[in-house]
Chain A
């Protein structure tokens, strides 16, 4: 797990000293609780292997959780992590470093796709294992008092892990959206100073805005003179789509470049005229090939057939 990512979650969740103190106050997790847990450490050490072992029986006993324990090395590694986590509950500390480790757990679960349901179900099992351990070590009376402190810390942990899970999920979604945006506005360099923007899929106002910004940036960067916008892949061209195309064309012109609109089939042509959309100021073509030919002529180029003698 990337440390920078953990830093990010810590920032997003605003986990600083003040927040830590506030949370501990709300969970009634005092230093006395931590001291009580630290005193139980020898008992915890004695039972750690057995607890982890039983815990893994639950995980391997269910089809969903078993999937996350596919290979032996993962299992060994997780067993060790689990043992350290277990002993960590009896370390007698609850500082920002401790918080960070809990955030790491939630983020790791998100990364591997283990939803909170499985985490909470497993944790419930974990609690009951620890309760049995406390009863066998301290008797019913002593176990009850110790369990109270343990429960506070456990709920404190679970809250952090769940929040980190949600935060990680949000950043995953954000990443995916960025990837989709990137994919949805590909501007292709067709020839020297000629760009092609094939629009595929529905164009809403948000996407139209992205398309225009991206297109303008690329025109300026590539010093393009002509850009072909092919709308053959746009399922519905209504007044709003037409309006954003007109706006984009106007902006392209302000940069000193020209737009050619291609992919206008019979249906779109009819719709445009029936809607009264004025596209006469734009270069328009039905076929992309014709648009390319026009674009090349605008930059002083021409496609010519190879003469018979030149053919291979």
Chain B
């Protein structure tokens, strides 16, 4: 199934607004939609905007981590942006510090972080 996620290209970076009310099934669908989009259209980087989520459970946290790892295998760096303060606090209290995920304050900062990462890789 498709999650009907809207994709946006900003400066060659694929920006994905993760929809609210993320069930496990929808989370899975978002992941496959995003990866398929990357495969077909390519991208200079991936920004996952989770600002709409007021809770992130362990499953969604794992999906986010995995998506970043999968995108990396396809040669693309990922930044998760706009994690809400209360979500961050809860995640950390549950022991999920998501060490392998790059984070940024918002989409703009996320794109800037990708630019910097790209510059150091070259």
Contact with B along A223-263 (1 / 0, CB 8 A): 10100000000000000000000011011111111000000
Complex: A217 Cα to B91 Cα, angstroms = 15
Residues A254 and B98 in contact, CB atoms below 8 Å apart:
yes
**Contact A212:B103 (CB < 8 A) given known A250-B97, A256-B81, A256-B109:** no
The answer to whether B115 has its CB under 8 Å from any CB of chain A is no
Interface residues of A in 244-287 (CB under 8 A from B): 247-248, 250-257
Residues B105 and A256 in contact, CB atoms below 8 Å apart:
yes
Please pick, from B85, B98, B103, the residue contacting A216 in the complex, using a CB distance under 8 A: B85
When C-beta atoms are compared, the residue in chain A nearest to B56 turns out to be A254
Known contacts A254-B87, A256-B105, A256-B106; 17 additional CB pairs below 8 A are A216-B86, A216-B88, A219-B85, A220-B84, A220-B105, A225-B105, A247-B97, A250-B92, A253-B97, A254-B83, A254-B97, A254-B98, A255-B83, A255-B103, A256-B83, A256-B109, A256-B113
Rounded to whole Å, the gap between the CB of B83 and the closest CB of chain A is: 5
**Contact A255:B98 (CB < 8 A) given known A219-B85, A220-B84, A220-B85:** no
The answer to whether A213 has its CB under 8 Å from any CB of chain B is yes
Complex: A257 Cα to B85 Cα, angstroms = 11
A residues less than 8 Å from B98 (CB atoms): 254
The answer to whether B104 has its CB under 8 Å from any CB of chain A is yes
The answer to whether B89 has its CB under 8 Å from any CB of chain A is yes
The answer to whether B121 has its CB under 8 Å from any CB of chain A is no
Residues A251 and B84 in contact, CB atoms below 8 Å apart:
no
Residues A254 and B103 in contact, CB atoms below 8 Å apart:
yes
Rounded to whole Å, the gap between the CB of B89 and the closest CB of chain A is: 6
The 4 closest A-B pairs by CB, nearest first: A216-B85, A256-B104, A250-B97, A254-B88
Across chains A and B, the number of contacting residue pairs, with CB separation under 8 Å, is 55
Q: How large is the interface on A (under 10, 10 to 19, 20 to 34, 35 or more residues)?
A: 10 to 19
Complex: A257 Cα to B110 Cα, angstroms = 11
With most chain A CB atoms within 10 A of its CB, the pick from B88, B106, B110 is: B88
The answer to whether B93 has its CB under 8 Å from any CB of chain A is yes
Rounded to whole Å, the gap between the CB of B61 and the closest CB of chain A is: 10
Residues B92 and A247 in contact, CB atoms below 8 Å apart:
yes
Complex: A250 Cα to B98 Cα, angstroms = 8
Interface residues of B in 56-109 (CB under 8 A from A): 81, 83-89, 91-93, 97-99, 103-106, 109
Size of interface on B: residues with Cβ below 8 Å to A: 21
Give the dominant DSSP class at A's interface: helix
When C-beta atoms are compared, the residue in chain A nearest to B113 turns out to be A256
**Contact A254:B91 (CB < 8 A) given known A213-B85, A217-B85, A220-B84:** yes
Please pick, from B81, B103, B106, B109, the residue contacting A253 in the complex, using a CB distance under 8 A: B103
A residues less than 8 Å from B93 (CB atoms): 247
Complex: A248 Cα to B97 Cα, angstroms = 10
Residues B109 and A212 in contact, CB atoms below 8 Å apart:
no
B residues less than 8 Å from A216 (CB atoms): 85-86, 88-89
Please pick, from A223, A247, A250, the residue contacting B105 in the complex, using a CB distance under 8 A: A223
A residues less than 8 Å from B105 (CB atoms): 220, 223, 225, 255-257
Contact with B along A193-227 (1 / 0, CB 8 A): 00000000000000000001100110110010100
Q: Can you report 27 A-B residue pairs in the complex whose CB atoms are below 8 A from each other?
A: A212-B89, A213-B85, A216-B86, A216-B89, A217-B85, A219-B85, A220-B84, A220-B105, A223-B105, A247-B93, A247-B97, A248-B92, A250-B92, A252-B88, A254-B91, A254-B92, A254-B97, A255-B83, A255-B85, A255-B88, A255-B103, A255-B105, A256-B81, A256-B104, A256-B105, A256-B106, A256-B109
Rounded to whole Å, the gap between the CB of A277 and the closest CB of chain B is: 15
Complex: A217 Cα to B85 Cα, angstroms = 6
When C-beta atoms are compared, the residue in chain A nearest to B104 turns out to be A256
When C-beta atoms are compared, the residue in chain B nearest to A252 turns out to be B88
Complex: A135 Cα to B103 Cα, angstroms = 84
Complex: A240 Cα to B89 Cα, angstroms = 17
When C-beta atoms are compared, the residue in chain B nearest to A218 turns out to be B85
A residues less than 8 Å from B84 (CB atoms): 220
